Structure 1
Amino acid sequence: MLHVNNDEIPADFWRSLNYFNLYRLALVSFILFIAIAFQAERLFGTSKGQLFLLTGWVYAVVVALSFIPMRMRWFKFSWQLAWQVGSDIVALTVLSHASGGIQSSVGLLLMVSMAVAGIISRGKITLFFASLASIAALLEHAFAVLYDDAPVTQYVQVGLLCVSYFAVAGLAHKLAQYALDNQKLAQRRGRDLIGMAEANRLVMRDMQDGVLVVDEHDRIVQMNPSAARLLYNTEAADSMLSESFPLLYQQYAQWKHNTINARVTLQLDGGLQARLRFVGVERDAAQGAVIFLEDMQHAQAEAQQIKLAALGRLTANLAHEVRNPLSAISYATELLQEESGNTRQVRLLQLIRDNTQRINRIVEDVMQLNRRDRAQLETFDLAVFLPVFVDEFNQAERVGSGVLQLHAETCSMVTFDRGHFRQVLWNLCRNALHYGRQLPGSLTLTTGQDRGRVMLDVLDDGSGISVAHQSRLFEPFFTTAEQGTGLGLYIARELCEANGAWLEYHDRLSEPGACFRITFGERRLGKRPVNEHG
């Protein structure tokens, strides 16, 4: 059997041909049923009953056999269409002749075949089928005039029937071309929409701002990673906005009712702030809205980075010029202090020396910002590192016995630059010692794990940090101490981030004091680590 590659033919073409053949089968079955169950002569005006029945049965067999090559794809699509339409022309023409010619109106059934051929073929071959049908109708009537004494005047009716064949075929061809053009346009628009959707997905994924798309029922349709990071929820897609983010939903509902502006600020967990911007899909947000969340911390951090980078470059350039005068002033002050003087002079000299040291510490702290990216990572065990650090800190800071206590789990492996970690931990412990009561157990170092990440808490029993100051706690140059530089916590956080960790402040709700937590490992999207202290 001849097999032809029909993969290039769309599936809907074969489906249409199959439906056409089913119609032909139903038509011939109906004709045979009427001819057998009733008197065909009275229904169809049959003058040649035997020829009518024989042609009907042959036509039915041909239609039934046409399913086989169509299902098996044995021949080309155009050949099978031509075979079906050609068999219709022959069979219906013979049935029309057996029924008395043009007056039986059986030839009108060929219009359906012409229409289907025009729709399925979608080419000029439709006119060829109309020509064949017209030739067959003319030959049938000519045969009837010559041998059956048919009226010559009926040529006019035959001619009108032929014109109808061409009209139906041409109209079906035009409609098919119009449908094909619309289909190509729809496919092109579909590809464009897919491309635009992919571009939107990539843009949303790489945007620094959070983006949430909600539909008209306030259901979250889409959410980018930045929004998941800000809201600490990666599983909110396809959920109700009111259930996943109640605070955000309140702002959104007020915006929908025109009670607030399109730009508001939302306070998030962990001291974060996000500036909200609502954009309706339509003017009245009837089809949903797009919610933008601008990370205020990110914007502030960028501004601070620019300021500190400029300050770092300035400090690096002027460090030599600044330190030389400071060294001279400090040395001269020490010489003057060695000389005997009155109490007022000694106090002023000590004031000069303290301020020169404070200026020198500021210069050193700012210069360390330029070295924060030079981390030499190594893996070590906190259970081994922390006892050595506690001994060094107690000796250097002259801490009383039992004030600093250590609760470290075994095998707490972390990856960090040892020098950076020592500086961060020293800074946190010095602050805790300064603000604590300096009693036994006032300062505690505790290690633990959460979701596979190692955590280190630095706890004190001081008065804690007020809510008003918590949002500015890690800002550079922010301090509540008279002699502080305001760079300690900021540098500690920068060094943690440079080593793939993060530093956060937590209130101790059950006990007085503060808790600074270092969580080791890259920050991931999702829920925040569990806070054991509130």
Structure 2
Amino acid sequence: MFARLHSLSAASRDTFWRSLKALGATRIVIALVLLLYFGAGHLRLTQELTVQVCLAYLLTALALQALASRWRRQFMLQLMSQVACDLTCISLLYIVGGGMRSGLAILYLFPLAGCAILAPLLLALFSASLATLFMLGYTIYEAISSGDSPVMQAGLYGIAWFAVVLVVNRMAARLIGQEELAAQRGIEIGVQQAVNRLVIAHSADGILVVGADGVIHMSNPAAQQMLGGTALVLNGAALQPLTAAYESWRADPSQSSAFITVKPYADAEQEEVTAAWSARRDVPLHLKLRFAAAETAGLDVERNVIFLEDVTSIEEKAQQLKLASMGRLTASIAHEVRNPLSAIGHANSLLEEDLQAPVHKRLLKIIGDNVARVNRMVEDILKLSRKAQSHHDPMELESFLKELKAEFDETHRLDSKILCLGGMREVTVRFDPLHLREVVLNLLNNAVRYASGTPASIRVFVVHGAGRPLELHVQDDGPGISPQVRAHLFEPFYTTSSKGTGLGLYLARELCLNNDAMLDYEHRFDAGLDEGGARKSSGRFVITFARFA
């Protein structure tokens, strides 16, 4: 059954030593019971000799137990020494007690069963054969001496001992083999778990293990850094987009990926929790989510995995790859656009001297204004290519937006109720007025293309709370932007319109960056359901202004 003890695992070797000590403890109990039993004079035999044998058995059992507890060496030698002690003491008691008639033959079962459990089969059978030969020999001696001795009973005891040793040894071998296999499997699982923890801990992508109730059971350091700390439930304001995307995936598992924007500073309960949170709580995170369900069939538990990928760096790399084309474009604009604009502006000035009719003056003014606007746009593109940074005086946002609304309504001939301003109050921002005008007009022009045209279908409102930067939201009631388009929304030259150049949103974001601001697109799920029974969703562009010192 066992080749050598040291070939087994550490767990199996510990089991052997514990079993040996349990066997020693049982020996002490048996010796003590025998001493009390014989000391009370329950057998008619030489009382003093019997008590002395029991006392010697007890003292030897204590010594062997102390040796096994303090010296974990030579396991097989200690085991066979204990078995030899048992066989010797029990044989002496068997002789003193009167042989087979004393009933002490049953005591041989204890050391033989212990030997069958802890020793190889050959040694266990050898011990059984020694006990059987002794009993048969002494019984035959009694039969010759007195003529009355149950030799048949002694033979049956021997057969029973061999059967018990064989059965117990085979059962023990099977159990020890299963324990060894379980120990090996435990080691393999432990190694695999250690590797998994290492891989998860050093993964650049965030990993969340989430239950059906939204409780996060595990998160790796990357996910904690992205989300600004360890959240136990997906119910914070900062994680609302993540919660909505997770619930949407559970409702429709075919949508296995999503793009969201998480603003850590929007959750006041989690602010200042960690140093990492404080360092980047003003930075919106653009995350790509991938959902996967763990195979837990039959375990009566649901576990889902959310992979978080920060796509900000990917977007930056994609933009860097296109900046070379942007450089060629700006060079072309400088030579091919500015010269015609100068000619148009000069011709417009000459016409103003000759045409004095009111209608002509109005048309010439429109030409001049648009020439100046295009020329300023060219200058802005050239500044972007040179990454020019400038600092501007503060401006009043409320008066600026009101003037811009009146101009936009007049230019597009819109009803004054279609474009609504909200959250207006006296707030001051540091932003170049012409740059902000270009950014907001770009967003409003896109909103007009997709809005329904009903009252309040386009909303521009200010959001400002304690401990968070000032935000300007531009929202319409259109169908929103699909996840596939959102992934490339601010890339230069990317457009879904045949008439577009793909530079509008890119230039708008770059203008915001040059003014220490940030332009993002947020996709949110609103309360309630639409006519088709699906959750209402809305998209909005958000300009986050720099903090005003």
TM-score of Structure 1 vs Structure 2, range by shorter chain? 0.5 to 0.7
How far is 1:52 from its partner? 3.2
Contact conserved, 2:519 with 2:543, CA < 8 A, in 1?
Answer: no
Matches within 5 A, 1:72-471: 72-73=70-71, 76-121=74-119, 124-149=122-147, 151=149, 154=151, 156-205=152-201, 206=203, 208-214=205-211, 219-228=215-224, 231-236=227-232, 263=255, 270=263, 277=291, 279=293, 281-283=295-297, 286-292=300-306, 298=310, 301=312, 304-305=315-316, 308-330=319-341, 332-333=343-344, 336=347, 342-343=354-355, 350=368, 353-354=371-372, 357=375, 360-361=378-379, 363-364=381-382, 367=385, 393=392, 431=435, 464-467=472-475
**CA distance in structure 1 between the partners assigned to 2:218 and 2:505 by the alignment:** 41
Would the alpha carbon gap of residues 65 and 35 (structure 1) be closer, same or farther in structure 2, given more than 3 Å must change? same
Distance 1:254 1:487 in 2: 30
For residue 65 of structure 1, the aligned residue among 43, 51, 63 is 63
SS in structure 1 of the partner of residue 217 of structure 2:
strand
2:21 corresponds in structure 1 to: 18
Task: For residue 23 of structure 1, report the CA deviation from its aligned partner.
Answer: 1.0
- Give 3-state SS (helix, strand or coil) of 1:212's partner: strand
Q: Give the TM-score of the pair, scaled to structure 2.
A: 0.59
TM-aligned CA deviation for residue 250 of structure 1: 8.6
Structure 2 residues without counterparts, runs of 5 or longer: 1-5, 264-283, 400-428, 441-465, 495-502, 523-541
- Cα displacement (A) at 1:89: 0.6
Mapped partners of 1:112, 1:496: distance in 2: 90
CA drift of 1:20 comes to: 1.0
Kept after mapping to 2: 8 A contact 1:329/1:356: no
Q: Deviations over 1:264-314 (max 9, x none)?
A: 87977538787574636535883132252656xx45x57754653453232
Using the alignment, how far apart are the partners of 2:318 and 2:55 within structure 1?
95
Structure 2: distance between partners of 1:243 and 1:434: 35
> In 2, are the aligned partners of 1:212 and 1:222 still within 8 Å (CA)?
yes
3-state secondary structure, aligned to 1:40: coil
Q: Is the alpha carbon distance of 1:429 and 1:171 closer, same or farther for their aligned partners in structure 2, counting shifts above 3 Å?
A: farther
**Which residue pairs with 1:491 in the alignment?**
510
Write the letter of the residue equivalent to 1:222.
M
Mapped pair 1:55 → 2:53 = yes
Q: Secondary structure at 1:316's aligned position in 2?
A: helix
Name 1:420's counterpart in structure 2. none
Contact 2:210 2:305 in 1 (8 A): yes
Determine if the alignment matches structure 1 residue 33 to structure 2 residue 36: yes
Cα distance, 1:40–1:186 mapped onto 2, change above 3 Å? same
Using the alignment, how far apart are the partners of 1:172 and 1:138 within structure 2? 23
SS at match of 1:191: helix
Q: Give, in whole Å, the separation in 1 of the partners of 2:364 and 2:55.
A: 130
**Residue type matched to 2:375 in 1?**
Q
TM-score (norm 1): 0.60
Query: Gaps spanning 5+ residues in structure 1: where?
Result: 376-388, 404-424, 437-448, 479-483, 507-513, 520-531
Decide whether aligned partners of structure 1 residues 330 and 15 sit closer, same or farther in structure 2, where only a CA change above 3 A counts.
Answer: same
The aligned amino acid for 2:510 is I
SS at match of 1:168: helix
Letter in 1 for 2:20: L
CA distance in 1 between counterparts of 2:248 and 2:381 reads 49
CA RMSD of aligned residues (A): 5.3
Counterpart CA distance in 2 for 1:433 and 1:71 is 86
Pairwise CA distance, 1:159? 3.3
Matches of 1:349 and 1:433, distance apart in 2 = 19
**Aligned-residue identity in percent:** 15
Report the Cα distance in structure 2 between the residues aligned to 1:115 and 1:104, rounded to whole angstroms.
21
Residue aligned with 2:306, SS:
strand
Partners in 2 of 1:15 and 1:274 — Cα distance? Answer: 54
The answer (yes or no) to whether the contact 1:333–1:353 under 8 Å persists in 2 is yes
Q: How far apart, CA to CA, are the structure 2 residues paired with 1:502 and 1:355?
A: 23
1:23 counterpart letter in structure 2 = T
What displacement does 1:189 show? 1.6
CA offsets 1:199-244 (integer angstroms, 9 cap, x no match) = 43344442635423338x87542123454456544152xxx66799
Indicate how the Cα distance of structure 1 residues 493 and 10 shifts in structure 2: closer, same or farther if over 3 A, else same.
farther
Residues 141 and 150 of structure 1 are in contact (CA less than 8 Å); yes or no, is this contact kept in structure 2?
A: no
